[in-house]
Amino acid sequence: MSLLSVADSPQAKEFVEGLVVFLKSKELRKRKRQAEREKAFATAIELIIADLMLGFQQQDNRWSYHQMSSGSFTDEPVGYKLFRSIVSALEEAELIEVSLGRNHKGIQWDEGGTTSYAPGLATRFRPTQSLVNMAAQYGLKEDEYHLSFKTQLPKKVIEVRAAKVKGEGRGRKLKLPQTSRFFKVESEIKTLNLFLSGFELTGGTFTGFRRLFNEGNIKGFDYDRGGRLFNSDGQGYIGLSSEERQSMQIDGEDIVEIDINASYLTIYHGVIGVPLPNKEDIYAIDGLPREVVKAWFSVSFGVQKFHTRWPSKTIEELRVSCEAFKPSMTVKAVGKKVIKHFPIMADWPLSGLSWSKLMFIESEIVIGTMTTMMKKYQVPCFPVHDAVIVCKKDEELAKNILTKEFEAHANITPRLKLK
């Protein structure tokens, strides 16, 4: 729940007003709210209901989610206490269902849209049939909520989190350091959001980006760790599968997704000043499945010293996705073979680099590509972490700019491929 969506049609506005009156009638307050708090109360209901209705339409499982720790509401349009009181009132009135989060395991959805849910970090909310029926009384149809509720571009486009602590789902949210670089980054993302909002993206949604920086509590941090772009509403096209994104269009034109092959590995070679091995498939190593080699790089770049055993999640994924995976392919055994082909990986723990620094360089490359295409050519370019999406007619332009940005930031020529 981004808490950035508002009622955008007369019917939706009347629906929200009706809900405000209904919830107030259920309150047991002795004193009337002051005018300013009355306005905040009504606004909060609008933002919460808009997200719930849009989530109900857009997701097969119908759930929306938001963490319920007080810190997760830092810089949000709705404060923790007000959010909590409103969702409690909605639940008590049997207008929404609430499923509390209890641990860090993610939600697992099966193909039918039903859940084999193990309670997760975020608490989930879903409109009941009573709320859907109430919306229908105001002329709002289940499959057309997106016509009546619109998500605004985010006013706050930067998020900084502390380094992850063992046992936590992710690092805690921090106050934004007001360095000189902060204002440059903020302006850059707001300019891109405004520009890209002028194009119609079909097959996926775009409601503006937020740039997420990591390890903000490390000494010397200056918006130079992490830095990937994410959809501001927590949904959007970035969360779609590669296959689903292929059906998207920009202003009615077919798109192409340009992927940076082995992005972190390429950046690492460039920064160290060592050429990549000259072979067609960078992950092809005799005696090892490609998926296993790729998984080793993924888990190794995520830590500052090599794993002594596979993370349990990686083991589960390899058993499902790689038929050739064998118990003998321990993380140590795989590492020996990989380092033989990529000797510079032996120095990774002492390189002074980290996943957050590699991600930052990657994000600067992608954002630099987007900005150049916007400023010089007025051409839209949408990111997907280590890839960009453009109209097919702009494929060569995007590849050229992406290559130049990569060379400028990482001192190496990337291998690009189309998805």
Domain range for 66 is: 5-151
Res. 198: pLDDT tops 60: yes
pLDDT tier at 167 (50, 70, 90 boundaries)? low
Q: How does DSSP classify residue 382?
A: E
DSSP-derived 3-state class of residue 407: helix
- Please identify which residue in the block is written with the tokens 């000259």: 278
Closest C-alpha among 311, 274, 279, 277 to residue 295: 311
Q: Which two tokens stand for residue 110?
A: 């099966």
- Alpha-carbon dihedral of residues 132, 134, 140, 141, nearest 10 degrees? 40
Q: Which two tokens stand for residue 307?
A: 């794993």
Q: How does DSSP classify residue 123?
A: E
∠107-108-112 over CA atoms, to 5°? 130
Identify any residues that bridge with 417 across adjacent strands, giving them in sequence order: 259
- Cβ atoms of 267 and 362 closer than 8 Å: yes
* E strand or H helix that includes residue 61: none
CA distances from 299 to 35, 345, 349, 354, 397 (A): 54, 13, 13, 12, 33
Q: Which two tokens stand for residue 196?
A: 């890209």
Q: Is 274 exposed, middle or buried (0-12, 13-18, 19+ CB in 10 A)?
A: middle
Over residues 93-106, mean pLDDT = 75
Identify any residues that bridge with 390 across adjacent strands, giving them in sequence order: 256
Sign, CA dihedral 88-94-95-96, equals: positive
Closest C-alpha among 239, 240, 174 to residue 212: 174
Res. 236: pLDDT tops 70: yes
Q: Rounded to 5 degrees, what are φ and ψ at 102? A: -130, -25
Same-domain check for residues 80 and 203: no
DSSP-derived 3-state class of residue 214: coil
What length does the chain have? 419
**Is residue 195 domain-resident?**
yes
- Residues 189 and 371: their CA atoms lie apart, in Å, by 9
* pLDDT at site 57: 85
Same-domain check for residues 99 and 166: no
Same-domain check for residues 196 and 337: no
Closest C-alpha among 256, 248, 326, 332 to residue 287: 326
CA distances from 136 to 15, 23, 130, 180, 224 (A): 9, 18, 10, 50, 48
pLDDT tens digit sequence for 137-156: 999 998 899 889 988 899 89
Choosing from 114, 132, 151, the residue where a domain stops is 151
Same-domain check for residues 312 and 254: no
* pLDDT at site 109: 41
Choosing from 116, 151, 186, the residue where a domain stops is 151
* pLDDT at site 73: 84
Same-domain check for residues 131 and 170: no
Residue 82 Cα to chain centre, angstroms: 25
pLDDT tens digit sequence for 357-410: 999 999 999 999 999 999 999 999 999 999 999 999 999 999 999 999 999 999
Over residues 238-245, mean pLDDT = 91
Same-domain check for residues 169 and 218: yes
Instruction: Count the domains in the chain.
Output: 3
**Is residue 77 domain-resident?**
yes
**Is residue 350 domain-resident?**
no
Over residues 311-329, mean pLDDT = 93
Pairing between β-strand 64-66 and β-strand 5-7 as defined by DSSP bridges:
unpaired
* pLDDT at site 163: 92
Same-domain check for residues 221 and 236: yes
* pLDDT at site 72: 80
pLDDT tens digit sequence for 324-348: 999 999 999 999 999 999 999 999 9
Top-confidence residue, 255 or 64: 255
Res. 105: pLDDT tops 70: no
Same-domain check for residues 9 and 135: yes
**Is residue 271 domain-resident?**
no
Sign, CA dihedral 22-26-31-34, equals: negative
**Is residue 125 domain-resident?**
yes
Same-domain check for residues 166 and 82: no
Same-domain check for residues 289 and 380: no
For the chain, what is the mean pLDDT? 90
Q: Which two tokens stand for residue 67?
A: 């963490």
pLDDT tier at 59 (50, 70, 90 boundaries)? low
Choosing from 118, 151, 184, the residue where a domain stops is 151
Q: Which two tokens stand for residue 55?
A: 């989530």
Closest C-alpha among 239, 235, 231, 191 to residue 208: 231
pLDDT tier at 108 (50, 70, 90 boundaries)? very low
- Please identify which residue in the block is written with the tokens 């009156």: 21
Same-domain check for residues 190 and 45: no
Neighbours of 260 (CB within 10 A): 22
Top-confidence residue, 77 or 221: 221
* pLDDT at site 280: 85
**CATH assignment at residue 11:** 1.10.10
Q: Give 25-44 as a DSSP string.
A: HT---SSPPPHHHHHHHHHH
Same-domain check for residues 80 and 200: no
